[in-house]
Structures are given as structure tokens and as C-alpha cells.
């Protein structure tokens, strides 16, 4: 009997041991950062599920009460390659230690993201759109509006993506620098993730934000899509068509966008005060009447791409952008405010156009040991023409008759080489060399013919290192720039050497909170147009004059920002300070009985811009909203003036998705900006939209400025000799209804795709712009 009980106890003990096998480990990415909420599933040989768990905030997981046997452990997480570990004859508890998941660059064919997932790195936030967000969107711009990323202000009607202040937003697809129109051509279901670079490296130039869409690429077949937005009662529309054909490693694509506008309610009101220095003062008011403004904007892209994901990528892209303005007419009266019976009739009419073709040749080579070599060459041709007629008359007697014609041509080439190397422990470094060279030939005709020939160049060499020490990420970049310019006929060569460092320190408390400090110094060059030693008459009292003595200057930036999120609540804040000593800004002075408008290197320009954003949602997987607000405070110290200006702003967006319907309401207040003595501003805008999506078809309707009777933009100049306050009005933009139609058709299957990582383009025409 004793032997029986001993055997029974032994069997029970073994049985208990068999039920107490445990598995544990830590899930990390290749940069040795913990992966939160990774899925861990234990399966039998025939793939039947035994048990499962999710990793915690530190990447830890633990599976309990496992019986002895042979199993397959499957670890997966959105954005990473699935890892499988076979556990043969498992009969005791095991600690698997650190398990690393490799980043999944493009393919998520078998994964459905039900909630918008994201993770943060030192220079970017990686966002995986949810099924709800993709379903509510017809293109890449719509999807970005649904994601409600920090600082971004997305206008789906005017097709703009910007941030508060004057920062540049770069848009990219698989690393390729693209335009808004190419983003609109993206299908939401082909977008794997959106990489939001809010601390871009030195090779992105002076970009404040970089938005990189990582998309799938068909191996065969392709897609075709149209996107139409048209007002039924106003001559306003946006039309886009795109196509893409794939065959093995080759991809052919073409995109076209056209934006016709034909308005008869454009006018301006302008209040001006002149002090000519000899005691003569004039106070006049320009009272505008509705007039004609017609334009046609066009953009075209044709590209060929050849790539082997693991070896190379070769890309050739031919781009064209143009804008034809046959008429932009402002009519009205110039009234003497001290004697309203004293007035003259005024006409200010301009016709203009520009054509900007460019050719981009790109090659990327993936080398062994996580090394990448990139070469990019871009040639651009800018051709621009403007014809401005300005007249003042009284009782059919011509008092002032001014005509300025400008023919401009500019040729530029940009070449860049980049080397990047990934190191152990998530560290990496890179170096690059970029050179830009441009030639400008402009003819100015205003009774006489003046010709300017200028050349300008810049060479930029940089290196960058990124590392991590526990919860502290850091990035150090060092660059140097040599810039020069010369006006033909002059023996002087103006050249400057500048040092361009950049430092980022980011402390991550957890996956839901961080604090970051950023600081950089960059180089700003004068535009070729402002360097032109040419006079252009504006009206009977004012002349615009270029300044060939302008010099490059430095741009200092410092910012502190942070994020915190919990559940459906997400907050973001930032505080930025910018400083530009010797900044090129406008100025005016009296010369005889005329006011001269020009530019010069002034003492300094400063800005302080705090902002905060609150995002909530999705609530019940239906509703989400975002509200942002802040202050733009500017200090402009010129050689002869000192100005201060503050502007409060707010941007709010509400999005509701129910079944196949999407409702959007967005309001944006103007964000004015002071540079020199000029305050320029955006408009107050509201957008109301309702869309219905069925498979690949989406139809909708909306109203631009539904609760506003007057659409206008305001600018002011505070000069002591010639101050002004101008309001530009556009009657058609108030209560402007529109309808939308989008259709996308695709065929073929998907496979992993590499990414082009750099692109350059020159959009500066090199012409000194003039206008009242």
C-alpha cells in the first residue's frame, strides 16, 4: 500500500510539473527597443492555438500552464516581420531571452489594422492607418486628414498641407520627394504606413516636417484613378488622373492635375499713407470693384522605376508644373481721404505664366553590412513671363501709364551623393555632399530694356550620427556650406562659408510620453530676383529696386516639444524660438518725390511660437476630433525700424465615420506673420464635407466657408514713409458649394518594394517679383 501511495504521489507530482511549464522572453526590434503589445501565440504542430499573450510596455511576455510537447511559438506585431520559433520536446520552463523582430518595410497583405497603431523613434513617428481611416479616405491627402498628426494643417479642398509658422513640409512616397498632387493620386489601401519625420536629418535640408508614405507596389498589372472636385455655380475645379503599370521589376507611372479658376468677384481695398519727407503727405484709399481673375494651374509627372529590393533602385522622373494667368484685374478708385471729391480711376492688370520642366535621375545601391549609397541629379528649367499694366486717369485723361514686362529664364542643376551605415545597438551614421548651381537670364522692359545675367551656387557637406543611451536618444549633425553668387559684368564674386551644426536630445518616459530638445544652425541665401540691380515702377509714387549687395545669413532654431497619450486622448505641445541675425527683409526710403521699396540685410528677426494640440478618438470607432492653438510672436529689428507683432490662431477638425459615410468639419483661423515691416496673413477658412464610399467609388458634396459672407486676406506695411493696409477679397469663395467624385481601379498583386530616399527640385524662377 505504501508503495502504491508513493507511486500515486509521484504521478501527481509529475502531472503538476507537466502543467506548470512556463515560457517567457522579451520582444525587441533591431534597434534593441522594446516592442509593446506584440502578439505571442503558442501553437501545436497542426497550428491549433494553445495559449497566447501580449508583450507589456517593456516588451516582456509570459505563458503559463503549458503541457510537455512540441510547439510553434509565433510572434507578430504590426510593422514587423513575423517570427516563428519551434520548441521541440518542451518539458521544462524556459526563458527565451531577447527575441528580435525585423522591421517589415512594405508588405502587410495579411494584416488588418483595426486601430491606428504607431511607434516613436528619435527622428520620426511611424503610423499604421486603421481600417476605419482607410475606408473613410479616397486618397493620401484624405488619409492624412484622418490621421490628425501633430502640427499638420490639412486642407482637402485647396489641397494644401502646412504647419503653423513658416516651416517647410516635405512630402515623399517611399522616400521620393513628391508634390501634393502625387499624394492625392495614392490609394489608401496601398499605403502601408506613414512616417512622420518631425526631426528630419541634415540631408532633408531645412525641412521642418517630412511626411513619407510607405506604399505597396504591384508586381504585375497596375492601377488607374480619377479625382474630380467641381463647384456647380462657380468656375472652380480640381481634376486629377493617374495611372501606374508594373511588370516584374519595372514600373511606369503618369499623373496629371489641373486646376482651372475663373472669378469675376475679385477686388481689393487698400489704405495708404505717404510721407515724402519734404512735408508732403498723402492719405488715399483704394476702393475696389469686383473684377476678373482667371488662371489655369497644371502639373504633370511621367516616371520609370527599376528596382531589385535587396540590391538597387534606378528612377527617372520627368516633371512639369505650370501656371497660366491670362488676366488678373483690379479696378477701382484712388480717393484722397482728406478730400473725397479728389479721386482718380485706377486699373492694375497683370497677365503672366510660368513653365517649369525638370528631369530627375536617381540611383540607390544597397551594400553589404547595412550600408546604402545614393546618387541624385536634377536639372530644372524655369521660364517665366509677366506683363503688368498700371493706369491712373481722371475724366478720361491719362495721368499715369506704367507697363512692365519681364522675361525670365533660369537653368539649374542639383547633384547629391549620400552614404549611410547602420551600426550596432540601433546607432547609425551618414554623410553627404550636395551642390547646387544656377544661371539666370532676365529681361526687364519698362520703356527701356534691361538685362541681368547672374549665377549662384552652394556646396553643402555634412555628417550625422544617431545613438541611444538607455531612455535618451541623441542625434548630432555637423555640416559646412560654401555659397557664392555673381552678377555678370561684375568682377566681384561674393562667397561665404558657414558652419551648420544640429543637435537633438529626446528622453522617452514610455511609449506614451517623451520630451525633446532640438537646436540647429542653417544658412539662408538671397534670391536671385532680389539681387537684380533693376528698378520697376509700381505706381505714380513707388518704385521697387533690387539690391546686388545682399549677403547670406544664418538661421538659429531652438525648440522644446513633447507628447503624452492615454487611451483615446493625445496631447502635443511645442515651444520654438527662431533667430536670424542680418536677415534679408524689406525696407522703404524716400528718393526725391518717390518711395523706393527694396531689401537689405537688417539687424535681426526673431519669433517665439508656443502651440498645443489635443486629439480625442476614435470614440466608439466613429468620432474623432482635434483642436490646435497657439501664439505667433514676432520681433523685427531693421536698420531704421523696430516692430513687434502677436497673432493668436486656432485650427479644429471633426471627423465622423458611420458605415460608408464620412462627415468632416474643419475651421482654420488666419495665421499672420511679420517679416521686416510687412504683416502678411492667411485667410479664415471653414470646410464642411459629406462623402459616401462604395468599394472603389466615392461621391460627396461640401461647402467652402459655409458661415462666412466675406472671404479676404489682409496684409499691412508699417513703414514710416509709406504705410498701407490691403484687403484682397474673392466673393466666389464665400458659400462656395462643390461636389466630388473619386474612382480607383487596380489589378495585379503586391510584393515588397524598396524606397528612393532623396529628391531635389528647384522652383525659384530667379525673377524679382513686383506688384502692388
Cα–Cα distance, 79 to 516 (Å, whole number) = 24
> Which residue, 47, 80, 101, sits at the end of a domain?
101
Total domain count for the chain?
Answer: 2
Domain assignment present for 108:
no
Domain assignment present for 147:
no
Query: From the CA atom positions of the chain, what is the Rg in Å?
Result: 30
pLDDT digit string (tens) for 700-754? 999 999 988 777 788 999 999 999 999 998 998 889 999 999 998 887 755 444 4
Residue 172: strand pairing partners? 177, 212
> Which residue, 85, 101, 117, sits at the end of a domain?
101
Domain assignment present for 741:
no
Q: Map residue 721 onto helix, strand or coil.
A: coil
2 exposure class (CB count in 10 Å sphere: 0-12, 13-18, 19+): exposed
What CATH number should be reported for the domain holding residue 72?
2.60.40.10
The CA–CA distances, whole Å, from 369 to 123, 366, 424, 428, 463 equal 22, 9, 11, 12, 19
Domain assignment present for 757:
no
pLDDT digit string (tens) for 350-404? 999 999 999 999 898 989 888 999 999 999 999 999 999 999 999 889 999 999 9
| Structural domain boundaries, residue 438 | 244-730
Domain assignment present for 642:
yes
* Residue 483 · residue 522 · CB < 8 Å: no
Average pLDDT, stretch 417-424? Answer: 89
**What was the pLDDT predicted at 772?**
56
**What was the pLDDT predicted at 104?**
61
Q: Taking 60 as the threshold, does the pLDDT of residue 3 lie above it?
A: no
Domain assignment present for 703:
yes
Sequence-distant (6+) residues with CB within 8 A of 659 are none
Domain assignment present for 1:
no
Per-position DSSP letters for 165-200, written without gaps between them: TT-EEEEEETTEEE-HHHHHT--GGGEEEEEEESS-
Q: Specify the range with the lowest mean pLDDT, choosing from 43-47, 417-421, 426-430.
A: 43-47
Q: For 67, which DSSP code?
A: P
Half-sphere exposure of 245 (CA within 13 A, CB side): 4
What CATH number should be reported for the domain holding residue 393?
2.40.170.20
> Which residue, 76, 101, 126, sits at the end of a domain?
101
**What was the pLDDT predicted at 701?**
96
pLDDT digit string (tens) for 483-542? 888 877 666 677 888 888 999 999 988 878 899 999 999 888 888 778 887 888 898 899
Q: Taking 60 as the threshold, does the pLDDT of residue 70 lie above it?
A: yes
Domain assignment present for 582:
yes
Residue 384: strand pairing partners? 354, 408
**What was the pLDDT predicted at 19?**
52
Q: Taking 50 as the threshold, does the pLDDT of residue 111 lie above it?
A: no
Amino acid at each position: 500500500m505504501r508503495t502504491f501511495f508513493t507511486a500515486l504521489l509521484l504521478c501527481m507530482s509529475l502531472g503538476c510539473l507537466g502543467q506548470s511549464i512556463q515560457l517567457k522572453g522579451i520582444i525587441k526590434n533591431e534597434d534593441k527597443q522594446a516592442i509593446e503589445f506584440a502578439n505571442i501565440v503558442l501553437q501545436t504542430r497542426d497550428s491549433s492555438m494553445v495559449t497566447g499573450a501580449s508583450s507589456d510596455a517593456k516588451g516582456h511576455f509570459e505563458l503559463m500552464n503549458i503541457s510537455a510537447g512540441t510547439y510553434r511559438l509565433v510572434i507578430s506585431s504590426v510593422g514587423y516581420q513575423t517570427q516563428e520559433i519551434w520548441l521541440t520536446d518542451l518539458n521544462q520552463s524556459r526563458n527565451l531571452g531577447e527575441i528580435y523582430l525585423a522591421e517589415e518595410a512594405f508588405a502587410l497583405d495579411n494584416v488588418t489594422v483595426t486601430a491606428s497603431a504607431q511607434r516613436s523613434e528619435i527622428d520620426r513617428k511611424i503610423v499604421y492607418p486603421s481600417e476605419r481611416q482607410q475606408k473613410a479616405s479616397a486618397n493620401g491627402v484624405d488619409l492624412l486628414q484622418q490621421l490628425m498628426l501633430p502640427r499638420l494643417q490639412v486642407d482637402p479642398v485647396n489641397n494644401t498641407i502646412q504647419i503653423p509658422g513658416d516651416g517647410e513640409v516635405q512630402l515623399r512616397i517611399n522616400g521620393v520627394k513628391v508634390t501634393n498632387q502625387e499624394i492625392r493620386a495614392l490609394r489608401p489601401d496601398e499605403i502601408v504606413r506613414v512616417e512622420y519625420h518631425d526631426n528630419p536629418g541634415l540631408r532633408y535640408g531645412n525641412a521642418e516636417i517630412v511626411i513619407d508614405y510607405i506604399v505597396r507596389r504591384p508586381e504585375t498589372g497596375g492601377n488607374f484613378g480619377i479625382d474630380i472636385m467641381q463647384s456647380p455655380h462657380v468656375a472652380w475645379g480640381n481634376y486629377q488622373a493617374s495611372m501606374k503599370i508594373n511588370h516584374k521589376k519595372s514600373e511606369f507611372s503618369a499623373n496629371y492635375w489641373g486646376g482651372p479658376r475663373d472669378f469675376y468677384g475679385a477686388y481689393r481695398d487698400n489704405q495708404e499713407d505717404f510721407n515724402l519727407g519734404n512735408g508732403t503727405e498723402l492719405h488715399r484709399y483704394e476702393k475696389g470693384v469686383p473684377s476678373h481673375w482667371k488662371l489655369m494651374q497644371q502639373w504633370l509627372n511621367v516616371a520609370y522605376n527599376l528596382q531589385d529590393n535587396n540590391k538597387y533602385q534606378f528612377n527617372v522622373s520627368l516633371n512639369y508644373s505650370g501656371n497660366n494667368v491670362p488676366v488678373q484685374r483690379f479696378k477701382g478708385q484712388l480717393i484722397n481721404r482728406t478730400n473725397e471729391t479728389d479721386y482718380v480711376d485706377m486699373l492694375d492688370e497683370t497677365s503672366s505664366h510660368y513653365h517649369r520642366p525638370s528631369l530627375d535621375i536617381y540611383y540607390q545601391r544597397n551594400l553589404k553590412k547595412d550600408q546604402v549609397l545614393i546618387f541624385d541629379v536634377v536639372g530644372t528649367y524655369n521660364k517665366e513671363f509677366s506683363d503688368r499694366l498700371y493706369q491712373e486717369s481722371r475724366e478720361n485723361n491719362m495721368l499715369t501709364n506704367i507697363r512692365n514686362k519681364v522675361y525670365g529664364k533660369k537653368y539649374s542643376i542639383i547633384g547629391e551623393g549620400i552614404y549611410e551605415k547602420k551600426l550596432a545597438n540601433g546607432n547609425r551614421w551618414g554623410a553627404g555632399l550636395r551642390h547646387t548651381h544656377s544661371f539666370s537670364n532676365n529681361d526687364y522692359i519698362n520703356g527701356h530694356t534691361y538685362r541681368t545675367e547672374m549665377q549662384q551656387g552652394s556646396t553643402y557637406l555634412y555628417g550625422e550620427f544617431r545613438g541611444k543611451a538607455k531612455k535618451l536618444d541623441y542625434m548630432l549633425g555637423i555640416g559646412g556650406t560654401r555659397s557664392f553668387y555673381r552678377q555678370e559684368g561684375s568682377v566681384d564674386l561674393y562667397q561665404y562659408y558657414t558652419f551648420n551644426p544640429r543637435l537633438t536630445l529626446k528622453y522617452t518616459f514610455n511609449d506614451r510620453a517623451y520630451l525633446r530638445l532640438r537646436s540647429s544652425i542653417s544658412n539662408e541665401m538671397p534670391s536671385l530676383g532680389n539681387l537684380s540691380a533693376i528698378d520697376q515702377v509700381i505706381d505714380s509714387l513707388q518704385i521697387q529696386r533690387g539690391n546686388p549687395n545682399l549677403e547670406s545669413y544664418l538661421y538659429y532654431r531652438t525648440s522644446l516639444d513633447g507628447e503624452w497619450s492615454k487611451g483615446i486622448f493625445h496631447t502635443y505641445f511645442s515651444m520654438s524660438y527662431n533667430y536670424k541675425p542680418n536677415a534679408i527683409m524689406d525696407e522703404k526710403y524716400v528718393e526725391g518725390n518717390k518711395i523706393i521699396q527694396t531689401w537689405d540685410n537688417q539687424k535681426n528677426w526673431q519669433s517665439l511660437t508656443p502651440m498645443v494640440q489635443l486629439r480625442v478618438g476614435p470614440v466608439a470607432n466613429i468620432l474623432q476630433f482635434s483642436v490646435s492653438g497657439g501664439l505667433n510672436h514676432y520681433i523685427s529689428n531693421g536698420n531704421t525700424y523696430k516692430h513687434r507683432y502677436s497673432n493668436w490662431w486656432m485650427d479644429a477638425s471633426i471627423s465622423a465615420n458611420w458605415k460608408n459615410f464620412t462627415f468632416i468639419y474643419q475651421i482654420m483661423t488666419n495665421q499672420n506673420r511679420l517679416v521686416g515691416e510687412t504683416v502678411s496673413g492667411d485667410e479664415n477658412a471653414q470646410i464642411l464635407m459629406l462623402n459616401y464610399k462604395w468599394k472603389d467609388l466615392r461621391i460627396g458634396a461640401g461647402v467652402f466657408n459655409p458661415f462666412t459672407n466675406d472671404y479676404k486676406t489682409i496684409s499691412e506695411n508699417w513703414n514710416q514713409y509709406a504705410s498701407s493696409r490691403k484687403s484682397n477679397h474673392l466673393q466666389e469663395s464665400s458659400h462656395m458649394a462643390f461636389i466630388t467624385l473619386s474612382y480607383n481601379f487596380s489589378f495585379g498583386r503586391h510584393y515588397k518594394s524598396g524606397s528612393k530616399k532623396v529628391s531635389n527640385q528647384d522652383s525659384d524662377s530667379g525673377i524679382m517679383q513686383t506688384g502692388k
